[in-house]
Amino acid sequence: MTIADLLAQLRYSFPHIIVSINGEVITKDFATHPIPDGADVRVIHLIAGG
Amino acid sequence: MSDKTTTILAEFAYTPPAVERGYAGQTLYVDVSTPSIAAKPVTEEMKEKFIGGRGFDLWLLWHGVKDGTRWDSPENEVVISSGPCGGITQYPGSGKSIAAAISPLTDVMIDSNVGGHFGPYLKFAGWDAIEVQGKADQEVIVFIDAPGGKVTVEAAPADAPTDTHLLGHWLLEHYAPSADDYPQMSFVTAGTGSEHTRMGCLNFSLYDRKRQDLRYKQAGRGGIGTVLRDKKVKALVVRSFPISGDMNAPADLSKLQAAGASIHKEVATFDPVQNHMRTSGTTYLVQIMDDYDLLPVHNFKFGRHPDTPKIKREVWEELLTQGLPDGCWYGCTVACAHAVDGYEVKTGPYQGQTVIVDGPEYETVAGCGSNCGIFEPWAILEINFYCDTYGIDTISFGTGMAFAMECYEAGVLDAEKTGGLELTFGNAEAALEVLHQMGRGEGFGLIFGQGIRRMKAYFAEHFGADPQFVQDIGMENKGLEYSEYLTKESLAQQGGYGLTNKGPQHDEAWLIFMDMVNNELPTFEAKAEALHYFPMWRTWFGLCGFCKLPWNDVVDPKNKLSPEPQKIMHHVENYRQIFMGVTGREIDYDDIITQSERVYNLQRVLNIRLGKGLREHDAIPYRSAGPVTEEEYLSRQERYDTQLREWLGLNPDEMTLAEKMAAHREYRMDRYEKLTDAVYARRGWTADGVPTPEHLKKLGIDYPDVLAVVEKHL
Ligand code: SF4
């Protein structure tokens, strides 16, 4: 599964998102970046909106 | 061209002063009762402590009103000011005005941030603010003619229309000496709907050089249009000088240029892949809010709907005119102020006319669309056009209509009570008819136009409604209708709406993602810190003349790696540089927050002085905190049952639905009270929400008349 797959599954469509995998911040290539099995994945939404 | 036959009722000659470091150095006072006109000096203390914009509005209102002043008292004022940075052209979003008055909906001060040219033109005409007091005994127009060196109060002739799209053209014809002057003209108008309701908005015009026509931006919230029409003021008109990039006479232009260069590049690079504001404005939020279960649907019952794709960004991109520089002030490269050109009106008195519809913005699509179960773009455009020209706030209309529709579906209303209108969710024709009734001042539109708080009381008294039910589902706080975000799962945003000065408008704080999605605010103290910092930071835009959107809607992705990405500090630094570049005053980040705190706290004290502004006035309707109806609970049953297990250690399998709902209610409302305690403590207020004398002293606003107000409540 890639980061993009995960975000789509969660319906996380917001454009300002940070993703970290096992503590490493990933900023680009969400479409191809794989998520290893058992990884600690964190998704942070920045503020915008409103 | 200029074809004026009006009667001058008062005249004031002046020489427009040169603007220095963002200030003209005087404010304009107009009493339409007498009528009389005067100049008031802008003191160093005003600049130092209240900055401009909302701060000047507040200062003038504080001195203009009395303890017992109500929205329709003669001494209530309509005050408009931009701010020292308002009118610069080097940075996007730097031409905003703040309009303020005591609100017909809330009975306290309302402030409303708006684009268009009026505020900056007013300053370049020699005035940092305009203050309109009194009540005229006939229809009047206030005309600030800077090149002519005079301000006049004039009788409006009987043939002057009231609805904005007609009145604007009439004003151009009658007040611009020639077509060459059109770009230097700007008007503030309301409409017939403002006359008959409490939710009247102000329209601020801008002359669009490309379209060669007038456009309008709205100071929507809180009924300031109603106050203007109550004073029998048909329009405020300014004729300024041709615009240039240094009209603010900044202390150091290079600081503005450096900040501008970096942001323009960021916008050009990232807007096309982030929010697409340059093609479709704020409508990008519609689908995103639906994806996160945050889009208000059917009076905030639900957060998403299968028909949302019918009103998502791409639909609006098709309808909105593309390729024009749609900034609501010069130099705004974010340029989100789009319009639908050549729209043929389908209903009501202007049926068949071809008009420009300004917008719609996210709030209008969500409020007048999904929240009312309306997913037809034509209907949203039609409501948008009529709200603007009648001078009605689209947010109060949308949230109010959603409430009325739920009341209809719940049996509180029926066709007999509405005069034959079937106000079911999705009935766009019925919603439009209510809007036309508001314009005409008749039928159910008159009851509706009083706003949700007064509808609740009316429905209970005259229609036998259960007062608790209408209180729970009627989405207002302090009397102001909620703007368009679902808050049930974000306690911090419940506070962002409720623990406010003016009522539930998202421009104070928008914390839903930080709180609900990221869980970055796990404690009451963390939420309270956010409910201190963000409202103060956002208040500052309104002091200076800035638009909030370029701060956080388009952002270089490298910001994600900064220590506090939510604050977008590289943009905050841009604003700091601009403030220093314009005013010549050195400030740090703490000074920004302190400047806002002064205004925020004095506004709180003004509310207390007017008999509100205490803890009881920060209470929220239960719909904003949790599920009111069984239908709502069952629609998200898994979520709510899980919460009972995880939050309260209860076993939902052994509980009736009524017991589960009661447990949620008790827990959620208790949390809101605990949040209130934490926020008040962080803001330097007592448990009743009163700023303490020590806090006021620390902020340097411990004036005797201010202390006298709070001391009664200690
Ligand atoms: S970002 Fe949009 S609303 Fe803000 S100033 Fe620019 S055009 Fe106006």
**Res B4 pLDDT > 90:** no
pLDDT of residue B1: 47
List of long-range contacts for B419-427, beta carbons under 8 Å, 24+ apart: B419/B443, B419/B444, B424/B373, B425/B298, B425/B372, B425/B373, B426/B372, B426/B373, B426/B374, B426/B375
Same domain, B706 and B608: yes
For the stretch B363-376, pLDDT in tens is: 999 999 999 999 99
Q: Residue B185 belongs to what H/E stretch? A: strand B185-189
Considering B442, B473, B504, which residue would you say is the last residue of a domain? B473
Q: How many residues does chain B have?
A: 714
Same domain, B430 and B549: no
Same domain, B466 and B614: no
- Of A27-36, B319-328, B386-395, B442-451, the one with minimum mean pLDDT is A27-36
For the stretch A7-30, pLDDT in tens is: 999 889 888 888 889 888 887 788
DSSP B118-173: HHHHHHHTT-SEEEEES--SS-EEEEEETTTTEEEEEEPPTT---SHHHHHHHHHH
pLDDT of residue B3: 57
**What average pLDDT score do residues B160-176 get?**
97
- Yes or no: say if B155 and B7 are a contact pair by the CB < 8 Å rule: yes
Same domain, B672 and B613: yes
CB contact under 8 A, A12 and B506: no
Q: Does some domain include residue B248?
A: no
Largest Cα separation within chain A, whole Å, is: 36
B131: which strand partners? B29, B79
A4-33 residues touching B, CB cutoff 8 A: 11-16, 18, 25, 27-28
Place of tokens 């600690």: A40
What SS3 state is found at A46? coil
Contacts of B560 in chain A (CB under 8 A): 16, 18, 25, 27, 46
Q: Which domain holds residue B105?
A: 7-239
- For B179, counting Cβ atoms within 10 Å of its Cβ (0-12 exposed, 13-18 middle, 19+ buried), the class is exposed
Cis peptide before B360 (omega within 30 of 0): yes
B572: which strand partners? none
Give the pLDDT band of residue B2 (cuts 50, 70, 90): low
For the stretch B206-257, pLDDT in tens is: 999 999 999 999 999 999 999 999 999 999 999 999 999 999 999 999 999 9
Q: Give the residue, out of B205, B328, B544, with the most ligand 1 atoms within 8 A of its beta carbon, to mutate for a pocket test.
A: B328
Q: Which residue has the higher pLDDT, B380 or B271?
A: B380
Ligand 1 geometric centre to CA of B97 (Å): 12
Which of B334, B332, B394, B388 lies closest to B358, judged by CA? B388
Helix axes B394-409, B452-463, angle to 10 degrees: 30
Helix axes B524-544, B657-683, angle to 10 degrees: 60
- Yes or no: say if B75 and B131 are a contact pair by the CB < 8 Å rule: no
Q: Residue B642 belongs to what H/E stretch? A: helix B637-648
Residue B92 DSSP symbol: S
Q: Residue B543 belongs to what H/E stretch? A: helix B524-544
The per-residue pLDDT of chain B, averaged, comes to 96
Same domain, B154 and B103: yes
Same domain, B281 and B226: no
For the stretch B614-667, pLDDT in tens is: 999 999 999 999 999 999 999 999 999 999 999 999 999 999 999 999 999 999
Which residue has its alpha carbon closest to ligand 1 atom 5? Answer: B93
CA distance B629 to B394: 26
Give the pLDDT band of residue A46 (cuts 50, 70, 90): confident
pLDDT of residue B509: 85
CA distance A17 to A8: 13
Q: Does some domain include residue B561?
A: no
Provide the percentage of residues in chain B whose pLDDT is more than 90.
93
Residue B477 DSSP symbol: E
C-alpha gyration radius of chain A: 11
State in Å, rounded, how far the first CA of chain A is from the last one: 32
The whole-model pTM stands at 0.96
Half-sphere exposure of B270 (CA within 13 A, CB side): 18
- For B202, counting Cβ atoms within 10 Å of its Cβ (0-12 exposed, 13-18 middle, 19+ buried), the class is buried
**What average pLDDT score do residues B506-513 get?**
87
What SS3 state is found at B79? strand
For the stretch B540-551, pLDDT in tens is: 999 999 999 999
Give the pLDDT band of residue A45 (cuts 50, 70, 90): confident
Q: Does some domain include residue B709?
A: yes
In B311-360, the DSSP E strands lie at 339-344, 354-358
**What average pLDDT score do residues B468-480 get?**
98
Q: Does some domain include residue B268?
A: no
Q: Does some domain include residue B345?
A: yes
For the stretch B251-291, pLDDT in tens is: 999 999 999 999 999 999 988 888 899 999 999 999 999 99
Q: Does some domain include residue B244?
A: no
Q: Does some domain include residue B112?
A: yes
Same domain, B322 and B434: yes
Number of domains in chain B: 3
Same domain, B150 and B93: yes
C-alpha gyration radius of chain B: 24
In B323-378, the DSSP E strands lie at 339-344, 354-358
**Res A48 pLDDT > 60:** no
CA distance B237 to B407: 41
pLDDT of residue B518: 84
Nearest by CB: A45 against B275, B509, B518: B518
Ligand 1 geometric centre to CA of B340 (Å): 17
CA distances from B143 to B134, B137, B184 (A): 16, 18, 13
Which atom number of ligand 1 is nearest to the Cα of residue B93?
Answer: 5
**Res B465 pLDDT > 70:** yes
CA distance B349 to B544: 40
Considering B239, B256, B291, which residue would you say is the last residue of a domain? B239
Same domain, B203 and B315: no
Q: Does some domain include residue B566?
A: no
CA distance B527 to B192: 42
Token duo for residue B6: 């009006």
* Pairing state between β B233-239 and B140-145: parallel
B116 Cβ below 6 A of ligand 1: no
Same domain, B410 and B524: no
Cis peptide before B377 (omega within 30 of 0): no
* Pairing state between β B109-114 and B150-155: unpaired
What SS3 state is found at B208? strand
pLDDT of residue B554: 87
B328 Cβ below 6 A of ligand 1: yes
Count of C-beta atoms within a 10 Å radius of residue B237: 24
Instruction: Supply the CATH number for residue B66's domain.
Output: 3.60.9.10
CB contact under 8 A, B274 and A15: yes
- Yes or no: say if B138 and B232 are a contact pair by the CB < 8 Å rule: yes
Same domain, B430 and B543: no
Residue B557 DSSP symbol: G
Largest Cα separation within chain B, whole Å, is: 79
pLDDT of residue B528: 97
Instruction: Supply the CATH number for residue B458's domain.
Output: 1.10.569.10
Instruction: Supply the CATH number for residue B524's domain.
Output: 1.10.599.10
Provide the percentage of residues in chain B whose pLDDT is more than 70.
99
Place of tokens 């209130």: B676
Give the pLDDT band of residue A49 (cuts 50, 70, 90): low
What SS3 state is found at B682? helix
Same domain, B469 and B502: no
